[in-house]
Every structure is written in structure tokens, then in C-alpha cells.
Amino acid sequence: MRRTRHAVRLTSAFVTLSVLAACSTAAPDPEPTPPEPTQTATATVDPSVEMPDSPVGDQAQWVLDQLAADAGPTSAETAAHFSASFLVEVPAARLTVVFDELRTSGPWTAVDVDAVADDAVVRLHDGSGEPWRMSVSVDPAGAITALLVKPDLGGDRTPATTWAEVHEQLTALDAGVSLLAARVTPDGQCEPITAIDADESRPMASIFKLYVLGALADTVDQGWARWSDLLTVTDDVRSLPSGQLQDQPNGTQVSVSQTAAGMIAVSDNTAADMIMALVGEQAVQAAMAEMGHSDPGSNDPFLTTRQFFTIGWGPDNLSDDWRRAGADERRAMVEAVPAGPLAVTGGDVDGPAWPAGVDWFGTAEDICAAQVALNDRPLDDPDTQMLRTILGHNRGITIDEATWPYVSFKGGSAPGVLSGSWFGERADGERFFFAMQAAAKDEQALAARSDFFDLAEDAFALLAGE
């Protein structure tokens, strides 16, 4: 039986093997130091293959050596081999998990390499002889800035050059999908350019954090909190990755602005729960309505990530009860989620929970309204500048900065769920929105995620000419 093959994409903008994620920034780096790896052998390389004698060749060989090791890399090793900006987005502990997952498909053999300047593509065979591709990029100092390991499906992907091709590639997924590309009018309306079921409610995963950020902005506007206030990490708010704050010890204090930045840019789940504890669920519900969500009641109660993990995959197997429950019964279940250390681990999160209603739901049109609500504020307001800094730190994909000087991004992923949303301001002042959602009952249907986000790059190339 052929083993399942998963794509692993690591850049300073995106991590595909996250539990509930999308992207991130400015949280402190609290990573614990993993045990030192034991090197069992260097990576197998076909005798006809020679890694280039260059920084990118050296880093490609280092990655192969790590795949041949028993464990690791350590925090010290990741600091020595990856750029600082990369490690802000992809913490050392997360890298260790990714390498561990890749090792299960080994032993790996390099069979070909192409390298030009700071980029290299290494063709690999896994332990079953299946073909893979590893892409590595380095910065001028020789540090890794991007790493992509994925099954080689034969040939390079051909970018979509028309909206029809974008539709074709998205609908080819074995999933329910939605898409909306829209022009944002001067009065803040989302004027569709092209769409696929943009009014269909689907799970959003971490895109829900846009509403938490909106509630926080309202709380700051009303004077109930300041960006400089300090929030505290405790077991009552500690969640699972993605993010970094879950690794901080109890009592660690982080500013509201830094917590919000981590929530958006690295999709820090603990940060999201810390902010929800500050503002309260009712404020998030109110913000959702104010930000134009068409059916706020579909997210009542509005889950924290701890509640999401506990109900979806916790030891009491609550997801079926959640499926059958009404709003009052669901609220009772949420209130019964215990405080203190979370009784769910990353290893428990196996299989989609969204078919039971365990997620946050909205349409592509709802997400457009939310992005516009956060970005359509007076530019001379300091709070607006703070929001734009938080939202614009991580674009999620490669988007030409000359054409698109400002892009606000929030994406999300959970078992069986992929989503991404972008609000972009073009250099000529025109404003656009693009979003995709995919929901599958089979988690493996969305396992090769990189092409999903490649479509967003194609979409921005098309929007550049609208």
C-alpha cells in the first residue's frame, strides 16, 4: 500500500503542517531547546549528483543531513541555518516537528539538483521510491529564507493566467470550495469580479481572528484597553500551536499590540485566546455583526481555540454532541470546558471536526466585509496605523511590492480546512479583495496545500491588470 504523501512548505510567510494556522510575527521567541540529534548517517546522494559548492548547496546538504538524523534540529542549529525573519514565522520547535514528520517517509535519496544563484531544487526519492522536490532559497548571508518539500507530481506547475483557469484549478480539489475576487469601492463595498459560491457559508479556520482583532480595535477605541497594556500567559489561556506564546512560561507578559501581531502574522492561537479573554466573547460577537457578517448566530457561541480543540478532539469525544446540540446546549458545553492545562495534544488533532460544526463559519462575502471593515479606517488615526502594521506584516504569499504596496492577509488551516483572504491596495490607489475557502471531509484531500496558495499569487497577477 502506497504511503500518503504530504507537502511541507516552510517560508517566512507560511507553514502548511500547522494544526490551526495561517501565518505570523512579533511575538518573543520562547522556544524550548530540543534534545541534541544523533546523526546516524549522511543523506544518501546518487553518485552522479553533486551538491553545488555554494551557500545554497551547503544548506540543501544540511537539510538532507537533518532528514537522515534521528532527531533535531536543535534551536541552536536552526538559529545557525535559518534567517531571523524565517524563525519569527516558523519557530524552532515547529521545525523539529516538521523534520520528524518528513523522516517517517525516509530514507531519502537525492537524485538530481539544479541550482541558480541563491535558489536550488533537489529532486528526491522517499523510502518507497516516490519522487519529491525540495526547493531551498537563501539570503545574501547564506541563511535559509524558504524551504519547500513536496511530492513531485511531474513537471512544474503552470500558473493560471485567466480567471477561468483559476476556477478550474480550485474546483479540481476534492472539496467544497468558494472564491471571491472583488474590487473594493470608495464607499467600502465588495464589487465582485469573479466568484464561486461566495455566499456559501464554510469553515474559516483562523480567519476568525479578524473578528477578534476587530473587537480589540473597538475596545481600544472605547478606552477600555491600550495597545501598550500587558497581557499574561497562564495555563487558562495556553493553547496548541500554531504560534509561539504557548511555549512561554506562566507569568510571561506581552503587550496587547505584540499579542495581536502574533495572532495575525503567525496565527498564534494562545495570543487569540489571550485577546478574547481581554475583550470578552460578547465584544467579538458584536464586532462580527458590525463588520458585516451575514449570519453571526452561526458562530454562537464564539469558540476560543482551547474550546475548539477540546470539543473537536478532547478526551470526552464531544464533537457528536456538538453536532446535535442547539445554541443553549452548545453554550453549556463551552462553559464546561475546564480551565487550567489543556487536555488535548497536537497528536490528538486527527481528522476534520468542521462537519460536526466545530469551527468558525462564514462566506467569502463575509470575509471581504471583515477585511474592508478593518482596513477602511481614517489613515491619519494612530489606531488605524497600528491595525495596518499588524495586518500588513505578513502577506502570506509572494506579491509584487511595487504593484501592491500594502496587502492585508489572514489565512487559516485546520484538518480538512484551508482558507486565505487578502485585501490589497494597488499602487494606483485601486483596492481589491481576494479569498478562497476549501472544506473537505477527508483530511488528505487538502494535504498538498502549496498549490492552493499558488493560486492566490496567480490571482494577484490578474488583479494587477483589472
Percentage, residues of the chain above pLDDT 70 = 87
Binned at pLDDT 50, 70 and 90, residue 6 comes out as very low
| Mean pLDDT computed over 285-293 | 97
Mean pLDDT of 370-380: 94
d(CA 201, CA 197): 9
Residue 14 has pLDDT above 70, yes or no: no
The chain-wide mean pLDDT, for the chain, equals: 86
pLDDT at residue number 443: 77
Position with higher pLDDT, 222 vs 44: 222
Is residue 44 very low, low, confident or very high in pLDDT (cuts 50, 70, 90)? low
> Do 184 and 408 contact (CB within 8 A), yes or no?
no
Binning pLDDT at 50, 70 and 90, where does residue 154 land?
low
Q: Is it true that the peptide bond before 228 is cis, omega within 30 degrees of 0?
A: no
Distance between CA 237 and CA 47 in Å, rounded? 52
C-alpha cell of residue 454 = 499558488
Question: What contacts 337, CB < 8 A, 6 or more positions away?
Answer: 306, 307, 310, 311
Query: What is the pLDDT at residue 7?
Result: 46
Report for 89-98, 200-209, 396-405, 449-458: range of highest mean pLDDT: 200-209
pLDDT attached to residue 84: 84
Cα(first)–Cα(last) distance of the chain, in Å? 48
> For residue 116, what is the enclosing H or E element?
strand 109-116
Q: What's the pLDDT at 112?
A: 83
Of 128-132, 158-162, 422-426, least confident by mean pLDDT is: 128-132
Cα angle value 453/456/457 (rounded, 5°): 100
Q: Say how far apart CA 218 and CA 368 lie, in whole Å.
A: 19
Once rounded to an integer, what is the mean pLDDT over residues 347-365?
A: 94
Confidence check: pLDDT of 458 > 90: yes
- Residues 135, 147 contacting (CB under 8 angstroms): yes
Highest mean pLDDT among 2-16, 371-385, 422-436, 442-456: 422-436
Q: What is the pTM of this model?
A: 0.74
